[in-house]
Every structure is written in C-alpha cells, then in structure tokens.
C-alpha cells in the first residue's frame, strides 16, 4: 500500500453565476506516493498544482471550495475526518513548505517563538524544552548562530533563510509526508540549489515522502523519482523522471521540455508553447490542450482523452500517445 493515495480528486470554486460558472481547478487527479520517494507535480501556473496540494493538506476553506474524491494516508480517508482530526493530521503527519515564506510566517513574533509555540501546542513540551528544540531545528536547517537567530523576526532574514525557517516549521513534528509548494520561487539559482539540497538531505535522514510542486524542470531532474504533469486541472502524463526526459508521451510535456534552455543549443531561439492555458471556468471541449497542440485533430477537438497506461508503468492522456512515444524513442 502506498503511503499517500489520491483518487479522483476534484476541487471547484463557485463563480458569480453559481454552479454554471464554477471554476473547476482540479478535475479528477489520482496519484500515489511511497515512503522515501519524491513525486514532482509539474506544470505551468494555473494548472492546478497548488490547489491539489492544498486539498491534500486540508487547508482549503470548505465552503466556498467544494472538494470530492479520496485522499488516503496509510489507508485512512482524510476527506471525511472531523475538522479537529484533520487539523492534527496537517502538520503532524503531513507538513507543508509554502512558496511565500514572508506571507506564511508571522511578522510580529520571533522565529524561535513561532517554532516553540508549535511544539508546545502540538507536542505538549515545556517552554524551556520547546525553546531548546526550536534552536536545534534552526541549526538543523543550516542557519548559523541558531541560538541568537532564534530571537530574530522574519524580516531580519534573507529570502533563502526565511525559506529554511519554513522548512524547520514543516519538519518540526516529523511528518511522514512533506509537501513543498514551489519552495524555491523568487530565490536566486545558488540559493535554490541550497534549499533543494537541504530538503533532499532531510528526506534521506528521515525517510519521509516528498510531494514537490514546481514548474522548474531543472529541479525535477535533480530531485524527483516520479513525475505527474498537470494541465487544466488534470494529470496528462505520469512517468518516472528518467522516462520523462528520455522521451515524453504527451505534447504538453514535449513542449515543456523543448522550452528548457540548453547549453548545447545557445544559438537557437528558445521555444515557447503558443497561446495560454485555458480558463478553468470555461474549459474547451475535447482535450484541453488542443488549442495549443501541433498534433491536434478532429478527435482531439471533440473527445476528452483518458489517462491510459503505457508500457513500463507510465501513462498519458493523449489520443496520439503511442505515436508520440514511438517518435520520441525512435
């Protein structure tokens, strides 16, 4: 049994006209995550990655959000848990690193106080024990002079250091699953690498599973074991990271890979997928990607492709999946 199982997850938000204008942010996502492995959910902004993560974490306001499907942790259904029980799962069994650390941290409390309060409320620690453990956590995420920095406020840290404090908060209760939602957004390349290496190091030490939300193919290549590519709220391709980079089985993945800068093609113009992602309140008929797809035909414009299995355990939601896979490996 997988540690985390998500099945037919759907998330919608009401529009100004009620159900008729509802925004369908997530449309039937299914995925599995095993202990010690990293699953990267990849896609452009607006593809539904973060909403999927928030639904799994249980931090969406319901209502107005409407969440259906199944989210199971070690076989236990989370979507039907009472609010207090779900709150205990969030943080203690599933931790989350948000993409905007400055917005996620409380600006009027020191980072040491924020860590200490979490440990006192969730673990029942004494004030002195919680303070000691907070300093250990700050040191664990490689912030120098941890005892002194525990007295500092979030604004006194750089962007990379604030992200490290967010990681310390996320791992404080030793969760089984860590969700990292664009953890390196707005950080420079060197700091990005340091933050991702820190997360990987903690994962190796603890054996926790990592669900990584990103649009950065470089990060995916570096840390992921498995990849789920999302478009318009659906998973359109699922494969190992090696399979994805060896040859995509969906035109959207193909476009994402082609848009990566490459040092061996400096003189070539960088490819960009034409058009923009569809409005989730007005999804087109057929395959949502057909308006931007160079392979689209009448079948693509009329019929929504299902996520179908392919050889070697991968899957693709494309009417031309087998042809594309054959070409990419040809």
Q: What is the chain's mean pLDDT, rounded?
A: 89
Other C-beta atoms closer than 10 Å to the C-beta of 237 total: 29
Q: Is the confidence at residue 40, as pLDDT, over 90? A: yes
Q: Which two tokens stand for residue 161?
A: 């250091």
Percent of the chain predicted with pLDDT > 90: 59
Phi, psi of 56, deg, nearest 5: -65, -40
pLDDT tens-digit profile of 89-123? Answer: 888 899 999 877 778 899 999 999 999 999 999 99
Say if residues 173 and 96 touch (Cβ distance below 8 Å): no
Say if residues 120 and 202 touch (Cβ distance below 8 Å): no
What mean pLDDT is predicted for residues 157-162? Answer: 89
Other C-beta atoms closer than 10 Å to the C-beta of 143 total: 21
Predicted confidence band of residue 20 (pLDDT cuts 50, 70, 90):
low
Q: Is the confidence at residue 330, as pLDDT, over 60? A: no
Compute the distance between CA of residue 131 and CA of residue 119 in angstroms, rounded to an integer. Answer: 9
pLDDT tens-digit profile of 164-220? Answer: 999 999 999 989 999 999 887 767 778 888 888 888 889 988 889 999 998 888 889
Q: Is the confidence at residue 262, as pLDDT, over 80? A: no
Say if residues 199 and 182 touch (Cβ distance below 8 Å): no
For residue 101, the model assigns a pLDDT of 77
The secondary structure element, H or E, covering residue 73 is strand 66-73
Q: Is the confidence at residue 329, as pLDDT, over 60? A: no
What is the DSSP track for 169-186? HHHTT--SEEEEESTTTT
Higher pLDDT among residues 157 and 216, named by residue: 157
Compute the distance between CA of residue 153 and CA of residue 5 in angstroms, rounded to an integer. Answer: 37
Compute the distance between CA of residue 218 and CA of residue 220 in angstroms, rounded to an integer. Answer: 5
pLDDT tens-digit profile of 123-138? Answer: 999 999 999 999 999 9
Compute the distance between CA of residue 304 and CA of residue 288 in angstroms, rounded to an integer. Answer: 8
Strand order through the sheet with 76-77? 18-33, 4-15, 66-73, 76-77
What mean pLDDT is predicted for residues 160-166? Answer: 90
Q: pTM for the whole thing?
A: 0.89
Residues in Cβ contact with 265 at an 8 Å cutoff, skipping those fewer than 6 apart: none
Other C-beta atoms closer than 10 Å to the C-beta of 213 total: 25
Task: Give the domain ranges of the chain.
Answer: 251-330
CA nearest neighbour of 23 among 280, 283, 284: 280
* 312 upstream amide cis, omega within 30 of 0: no
Percent of the chain predicted with pLDDT > 70: 95
**Intra-chain end-to-end CA distance of the chain, in Å:** 35
What is the DSSP track for 14-80? EETTEEEEEEEEEEEEEEEE-TT-EEEEE--TTSSHHHHHHHHHT-S-TTTSEEEEEEEETTEESTT
Predicted confidence band of residue 66 (pLDDT cuts 50, 70, 90):
very high
Q: Is the confidence at residue 226, as pLDDT, over 80? A: yes
């Amino acid at each position: 049994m997988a540690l985390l199982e998500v099945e037919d997850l759907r998330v919608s938000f009401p529009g100004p006209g009620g159900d008729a204008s509802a925004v369908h942010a997530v449309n039937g996502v299914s995925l599995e995550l095993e202990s010690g492995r990293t699953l990267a959910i990849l896609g452009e902004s607006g593809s539904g990655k973060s909403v999927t993560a928030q639904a799994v974490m249980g931090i969406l306001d319901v209502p107005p959000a409407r969440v259906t499907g199944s989210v199971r942790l070690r076989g236990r259904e989370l979507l039907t848990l009472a609010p207090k029980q779900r709150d205990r799962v969030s943080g203690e069994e599933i931790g989350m690193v948000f993409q905007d650390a400055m917005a996620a941290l409380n600006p009027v409390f020191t980072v040491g106080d924020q860590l200490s309060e979490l440990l006192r409320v969730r673990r029942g620690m004494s004030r002195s024990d919680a303070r000691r453990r907070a300093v250990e956590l700050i040191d664990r995420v490689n912030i120098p002079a941890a005892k002194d920095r525990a007295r500092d406020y979030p604004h006194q840290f750089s962007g990379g250091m604030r992200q490290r404090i967010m990681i310390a908060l996320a791992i404080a209760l030793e969760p089984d699953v860590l969700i990292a939602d664009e953890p390196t957004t707005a950080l420079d390349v060197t700091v990005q690498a340091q933050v991702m290496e820190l997360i990987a190091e903690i994962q190796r030490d603890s054996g926790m599973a990592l669900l990584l939300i990103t649009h950065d193919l470089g990060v995916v290549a570096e840390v992921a074991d498995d990849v789920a590519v999302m478009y318009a709220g659906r998973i359109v391709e699922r494969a190992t990271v090696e399979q994805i980079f060896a040859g995509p089985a969906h035109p959207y993945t193909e476009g994402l890979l082609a848009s990566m800068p490459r040092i061996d093609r400096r003189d070539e113009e960088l490819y960009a997928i034409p058009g923009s992602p569809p409005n989730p309140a007005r999804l087109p008929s057929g395959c949502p990607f057909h308006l931007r797809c160079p392979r689209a035909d009448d079948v693509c414009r009329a019929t929504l492709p299902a996520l179908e299995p392919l050889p070697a355990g991968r899957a693709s939601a494309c009417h031309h999946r087998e042809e594309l896979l054959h070409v990419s490996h040809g």
